[in-house]
Structure 1
Amino acid sequence: MSALLEIRHLNAWYGASQALHGVTLSIAPGEVVALVGRNGSGPSTLARAVMGLVRCEGELRFAGRSLADLRTFEIARLGLGYVAEHRDVFAALSVHENLLLGLAPAGAARARGRAPRFTLDDAYALFPVLAQRKRTRAGVLSGGEQQMLALSRALLGDPDLLLIDEPGEGLASLVMQQVAGALRLLRERGVAMLLIEQRLVIAQEIASRVAVMGHGEIVFDGALEAFLERADVMHEWLGVG
């Protein structure tokens, strides 16, 4: 199966500081890959590089198309969704208005040869609390509710690939279970995911593959089962065990 996302020999910088060093990674259609590593090791930067948010060089291709020189909104329209670590909801707008901003442009799904996979009704069914608070300003929502809103808004863009950064960070156990349930549904509907996590809480439930980053490089890439057997990798690069 050909890759949906291809990353080859990617370098990235924040100013003069190099954050990624020759990263190579691919994701197949419908595949869920967990990208793990300590803070500052590069996973968040990799997601930002894919979305055109940091200066980088190397090869980035999505569905066979180069992402070089595309702006972030153009990358999103190709079918990439992005949920940043800090959620980035529009605080002054209501829950419903935030969701409307996420809707894919008319005809986008038809251009991809299929009906949209997610609707406003889906978003409210996935997270009933959003339906209850649809007229509430996003800025006064709890952290968990903002995570639900950011995830739902990304889904309404009808992505083929979702980049989601630390979906369980700072969430209560019950909310984390709801978010994990939503991600399982996405997997069932054929959405590929690059799931960035430090603790593997959600990743172990839904990922089939794990890539580990250290010092801005991929230091392990293999099946989830193989990763769980590598105590050396978990100890050296994640501080586990």
Structure 2
Amino acid sequence: MTARLDIRGLNAWYGASQALHGVDLRIDAGEVLALVGRNGSGRSTLARAIMGLVQSEGELRFAGRSLAGLRTFEIARLGVGYVPEHRDVFPTLNVDENLQLGVAPRSRGRTPRFTIDDAYTLFPVLRERKRTRAGALSGGEQQMLTLARALLGDPDLLVIDEPGEGLASLVMQQVAHCLRMLRDRGMAMLLIEQRLVMAQDLASRVAVMGHGEIVFDGELHAFVQRTDVMREWLGVG
């Protein structure tokens, strides 16, 4: 079964407040989709809805299977990895223990594509600090740790929310290098990112959110020509 994500008519709420309004979106196997928009547009809510973390209704299917009613760990075991905006590390556990918790318990009849050794090779600072409690890491180190832990779940689709948020330029370049490597290995990604430069560097398709709806969805080359969309929904232009 193709590892494709299909979203149709998705609504989501925080309590009585509706945050998503009939979202339709798809991500094909191996595709990188950049989801852009202003703060408060609903992008992070969409990520959380995919992972079963907010109240929602509508159609969510991954690899042909409905995600409705599944808990977050069950969705992860189907092959959906999640890197949240606020870097949810286990602060009292050390780096190596955090990574061990990410290793996929499921068997999918293949050799894992990303190992703890890969994590330490990709992010040498994590090897240097493997016995350090995660709560004592810098923001950039925590972002690397969260990304590496998600990859150890051997996902087919990675949902990553603002990977460059608050990072120094050099650290952001390391994270971008990692994401390019994953793209080139054929991993599908939903990349939620404010920085158009990173989105344009990584993605083949761009969707724009505004007021909890998708207001543009098209190929990258079409997006860069839509100065009206950039001006109205992104404040660019």
TM-score, L = length of structure 2: 0.98
Q: 1:53 — aligned with what? A: 53
Q: 2:228 — aligned with what? A: 232
Cα pair 1:109 1:158 within 8 Å, conserved: no
Q: 2:189 — aligned with what? A: 193
Q: 1:222 — aligned with what? A: 218
CA offsets per residue over residues 152-186 of structure 1, 9 Å max, x none? 00000000000000000011110000000000111
Q: 1:39 — aligned with what? A: 39
Moved over 3 A (4+): none
Cα pair 2:9 2:23 within 8 Å, conserved: yes
The percentage of counterpart residues that share the same residue type is 79
Return the alpha-carbon distance in structure 2 between the equivalents of residues 229 and 125 of structure 1.
39
Q: 1:10 — aligned with what? A: 10
User: Of 167, 176, 179, which aligns to 2:175?
Assistant: 179
Matches of residues 8-157 of structure 1 in structure 2 within 5 Å? 8-105=8-105, 107-110=106-109, 114-157=110-153
Return the alpha-carbon distance in structure 1 between the equivalents of residues 222 and 29 of structure 2.
21
Cα pair 2:2 2:64 within 8 Å, conserved: no
Cα pair 1:21 1:216 within 8 Å, conserved: yes
Q: Which amino acid aligns with 1:167?
A: P
Q: 2:161 — aligned with what? A: 165
What is the deviation of 1:3?
A: 6.6
Cα pair 2:81 2:159 within 8 Å, conserved: yes
What is the deviation of 1:199?
A: 1.9
SS of 1:44's partner is helix
Cα pair 2:3 2:157 within 8 Å, conserved: no
What is the deviation of 1:201?
A: 3.1
Return the alpha-carbon distance in structure 2 between the equivalents of residues 157 and 202 of structure 1.
24
Return the alpha-carbon distance in structure 1 between the equivalents of residues 177 and 54 of structure 2.
31
TM-score, L = length of structure 1: 0.96
Cα pair 2:31 2:188 within 8 Å, conserved: yes
Matches of residues 203-214 of structure 1 in structure 2 within 5 Å? 203-214=199-210
SS of 2:68's partner is coil
Return the alpha-carbon distance in structure 2 between the equivalents of residues 201 and 140 of structure 1.
30
Structure 1: gaps (5+ residues):
none
What is the deviation of 1:2?
A: 6.2
Cα pair 1:209 1:222 within 8 Å, conserved: yes
Return the alpha-carbon distance in structure 2 between the equivalents of residues 142 and 200 of structure 1.
25
SS of 1:240's partner is coil
Return the alpha-carbon distance in structure 2 between the equivalents of residues 20 and 144 of structure 1.
30
**Root mean square deviation, CA, Å:** 1.1
CA offsets per residue over residues 87-133 of structure 1, 9 Å max, x none? 1100000000000000001x5232xxx22100011100110000110
SS of 1:109's partner is coil
Return the alpha-carbon distance in structure 1 between the equivalents of residues 212 and 155 of structure 2.
26
